[in-house]
Amino acid sequence: MSNYVKISTIGSREFNVDEQLAAEEIVDRMIEHLRQKLSQVLPEQPDIIVLPEFCDIPFNVFLSPARTHDYCQVRGERILRFLSDIASEHGCYIAYPTLRLQQDQSWRNSIALLDRSGEIVGEYAKNHLTLGEIEDYGVARGTEAPIIACDFGRIACAICFDLNFDRLRLQYAEAKPDLIIFSSMYHGGIMQPYWAYSCRSHFVGAIGGGQPSAVLSPVGEVLATSTNYFDYVTTTVNLDCAVVHLDYNMERLSRLKAKYGAKVKIADPGYLGSVLISCETDECTIEDIIQQFDIELLDDYLKRASACRP
């Protein structure tokens, strides 16, 4: 049964403010900036909007740890409440990444996921910090990597430097979330499709610094991307899908396509030896199709091949 989810990702170019303004006024300017950014994608009626790392801290403020801390303390939960109202009004999830002061007075670089009613349904604190975050900004690392349940599927999160570390990736590869949210000031390059493929998950990057933000498929294909003209993009993905290897499945895939035609999509990125099968009908689910044609999933095939090693 198809499970279509409309995803909007918003990147960012440098947003600066007059540094002579009081912190309260800077928060006001930031709210209006975010309102304008969100207005670019809200007409599309997305199911989820993903914002970039430190989305509510002006770039020139962030250059100073002291000013950043002062600003964030004055900001408090004002922008959280603003985004909560947007999520509730438009019935969408919003991934809100920023620097937060915790009750224990530690700073965390985290993503709060707001649900369609504007409530925080889950939060991820960056597990792998840069030395600058630790030494200059006094940020404490997160120790957990929750899989957050949404009404359309299961979400995992990563932030910036996280993408360099196998520990977190392997944890998600085991959990196999439907969607990985990546908010960052760093693009990640080849790591984005690698994470998507190794975790068998759709992947959405919201990237700062004017770099492209994109939505990727579980076989690493870019499905939609922002451009040099527009720093946002919206696309619809089907989460009712599975990654399979072509070995021993070619004839089965042919029979599958012959029976279901356009009701099933087989996406081949090329050179990988694996394809993504998506169920485009409400007559059945991807699990039904896999069982009906005895199609071997990629992970099952790799396990079978590994078991044959002498």
pLDDT in tens, the chain (310 residues): 889 999 999 998 889 999 889 999 999 999 999 999 999 999 999 999 999 999 999 999 999 999 999 999 999 999 999 999 999 999 999 999 999 998 888 899 999 999 999 999 999 999 999 999 999 999 999 999 999 999 999 999 999 999 999 999 999 999 999 999 999 999 999 999 999 999 999 999 999 999 999 999 999 999 999 999 999 999 999 999 999 999 999 999 999 999 999 999 999 999 999 999 999 999 999 999 999 999 999 999 999 999 987 6
Note the CATH number of domain 4-238.
3.60.110.10
| Secondary structure, 3-state, the chain | CCCEEEEEEECCCCCCCCCCCCHHHHHHHHHHHHHHHHHCCHHHCCCEEECCCCCCCCHHHHCCHHHHHHHHHHHCCHHHHHHHHHHHHHCCEEEEEEEEECCCCCEEEEEEEECCCCCEEEEEECCCCCHHHHHCCCECCCCCCCCEECCCCEEEEEEHHHHHCHHHHHHHHHHCCCEEEEEECCCCCCHHHHHHHHHCCEEEEEECCCCCCEEECCCCCEEEECCCCCCEEEEEEECCEEEEECCCCHHHHHHHHHHHHHHEEEECCCCCCEEEEEECCCCCCHHHHHHHCCCCEHHHHHHHHHHCCC
**What local confidence, expressed as pLDDT, does residue 13 receive?**
80
**What local confidence, expressed as pLDDT, does residue 302 receive?**
96
Residues of each domain in the chain carrying CATH 3.60.110.10: 4-238
**What local confidence, expressed as pLDDT, does residue 308 receive?**
80
**What local confidence, expressed as pLDDT, does residue 10 receive?**
98
**What local confidence, expressed as pLDDT, does residue 19 receive?**
82
**What local confidence, expressed as pLDDT, does residue 105 receive?**
85
